[in-house]
Structure 1
């Protein structure tokens, strides 16, 4: 049983001053001048902007070197170079997914993220070692961080014999989602690769989140095959396509029919809004009714020296990549790491309403757009009804 909590005098994004009553980890009431029992824990919001807890839609907690020594990146330019380099480094260095994932997960919490989807490498050399480490982190933080784990075959489904069997074991061991990677360019056989993916997901009744880096026409071909399987197997609303670079490289006459099918089949898209490659078109996705949400991808690892566990920063980068300048447009960027991300990942009971899980962030900002642009220190972070961070610092015991 959690202690009841009252956050007094906070300000909703529309400017309304409210109190928020939290009971048993849920928002019990929200409105001005709430009357509550005397034994409630009280926090004064002092008019700070009240936001829902942030959602990280795509990261790789198991790979990170957050808080560790700097990794000198001298890897080659190809995707396969990065895959092999990472596998070699992790084996030789003894990189521990449990320690690494816990450090980064706590940093996410400190910055206001209360829901998170992480992809975890399932590897024929390491077996389920990385997943076991991340599941320890999920268990350690289970009361405050709602974490989904994706069993991710970083080398593809078919390229390394035994991967499908390991993925089967990973789903039995507690992974929430089945991952996949570039069926044409990595596996070399998109039909067989997708068949294996959907067969495994169907047997375990698990959703799918597939990395699709394949460019232009190749990516479009794979995407059509994938959508055919979603429709045939009734997996509407249970598939996410991460990256989907191809959709940013196609002409509208080729792209728009794919967007129409994505919307019809309720297949969501994830973007990290990278500056260096094409990205799915945000405006066209909104117009067509396609769910497009945001995430960081890897943070400070052998692939990438960049990144931060701050979803307001990711919203800012989404705003910059899509040239979002107006306040209402920046609110869309924030939605990509809040409401839309929760919907895309299937996180339930999300938001600032009665009955929602009490995941709240208070910041000194005038508007949502101001929060995205300025990325102020988090004055207060509440996760599942529990105060986990104050003034940018985790509270003791988290």
Structure 2
């Protein structure tokens, strides 16, 4: 770890300042900071500096990154996509450990310093994906902070034995237990939610549930999630990912759901889904105080070939789909890809204040909004004070 002083940068687009980094943390921020003997001096060239990007909803165990191009073949429905994924992955025989490591280089190059990844757990794959990503995480622990969500991609109640596997995944090191469309996939919302929340209650882990069900169907499920969050005292430890229903219910129902989210401190993740898919009203939720975060979702996988792991670009997509043109709106999207994700992950010492870990990204932009609008290659990425990427290239050794 090299102590250093970065000269002439603009923290979150503010006034130009120097940042001193010592022992992996921000030691000082100010004008004309003195460098101590032996400290490296980096010319920040007037760049914007933001805290490390946080991809708080990814599926890095299933990426096709680094493999030959695979044309998208899945049908339109959720179950079509799940079935296609299982067939393709079984045929390719890829290693979750190898694939997640391949993708890690890309994420580092893009300035991501924290990832919450959902890893598949189920009767067809057992705990192979969990253990593969776990091995990769240990290998690269100095390069990236990674949390794992035990994720039942093929369903819970319709796949006997899945609840037992999810609980074993938590015992084996998953920080979070996941769920998937208790109505749309399982047709048994009480069974799935009771099972998942029982595991969370026994182990004290967090919960992050995929909820694609739209309209009133999704709203009812959200109410059931809030009820269990309250009864088990899990406020602040539950997230709902996608939450399409928030973008497609009547105003009165939306207000009722927002009240439940606030009462139980439930966080909402959206990645700005493509097409005309409804998604949460970001500005309204932000103004009401609902915790918001974002992530890449799948990155070049069987679900879509388009996502590329760049969280600045993801913030752009959030702003674009939300119709944000003002700087304040665009910055909401960036905060979802930084502070919002860090908060959900429980990241310690995160941010741009003195004492924070020096997880920093330098971008050739004057303001945070400009960085989102143009999302240029990252000039410099630091992880706990160590330079891990430069000019859009990760500095991982070739044989790492």
| Alpha-carbon separation, structure 2, partners of 1:192 and 1:258 | 22
Deviates more, 1:83-92 or 1:168-177: 83-92
Counterpart position of 2:62? 63
| Alpha-carbon separation, structure 1, partners of 2:336 and 2:346 | 14
Any runs of at least 4 consecutive aligned residues in structure 1 with deviations exceeding 3 A, and if so which? Answer: none
Secondary structure of the corresponding residue to residue 157 of structure 1: coil
Cα deviation code 1:135-170 (max 9, x no counterpart) = 122112111211111110002221111111111111
Cα deviation code 1:257-301 (max 9, x no counterpart) = 110110121100000111321001112202221112211110111
Structure 1's 284 and 396: CA in aligned 2 closer, same or farther, altered over 3 A?
closer
Counterpart position of 1:279? 279
Secondary structure of the corresponding residue to residue 127 of structure 1: coil
Secondary structure of the corresponding residue to residue 381 of structure 1: strand
Secondary structure of the corresponding residue to residue 223 of structure 1: helix
Counterpart position of 1:288? 288
| Alpha-carbon separation, structure 2, partners of 1:203 and 1:216 | 32
Tell me, which stretches of 5 or more residues in structure 1 are unaligned? none
Counterpart position of 1:232? 231
Preserved contact between residue 50 and residue 361 of structure 2 (Cα < 8 Å)? yes
Secondary structure of the corresponding residue to residue 192 of structure 2: helix
Counterpart position of 2:261? 262
Q: Following superposition of structure 1 onto structure 2, how do residues 125-274 of structure 1 map, counting pairs within 5 Å? A: 125-274=124-273
Structure 1's 194 and 396: CA in aligned 2 closer, same or farther, altered over 3 A?
closer
| Alpha-carbon separation, structure 1, partners of 2:328 and 2:77 | 38
Q: How many residues align?
A: 397
Counterpart position of 1:52? 51
Q: CA deviation at 1:57?
A: 1.5
Counterpart position of 2:355? 355
Tell me, which stretches of 5 or more residues in structure 2 are unaligned? none
Counterpart position of 1:383? 383
Cα deviation code 1:31-76 (max 9, x no counterpart) = 1111232111221112111111111110100110012111122222
Counterpart position of 2:77? 78
| Alpha-carbon separation, structure 1, partners of 2:244 and 2:343 | 21
Secondary structure of the corresponding residue to residue 338 of structure 1: helix
Counterpart position of 1:6? 5
Secondary structure of the corresponding residue to residue 307 of structure 2: coil
Give me the CA root mean square deviation. 1.2
Q: CA deviation at 1:348?
A: 2.1
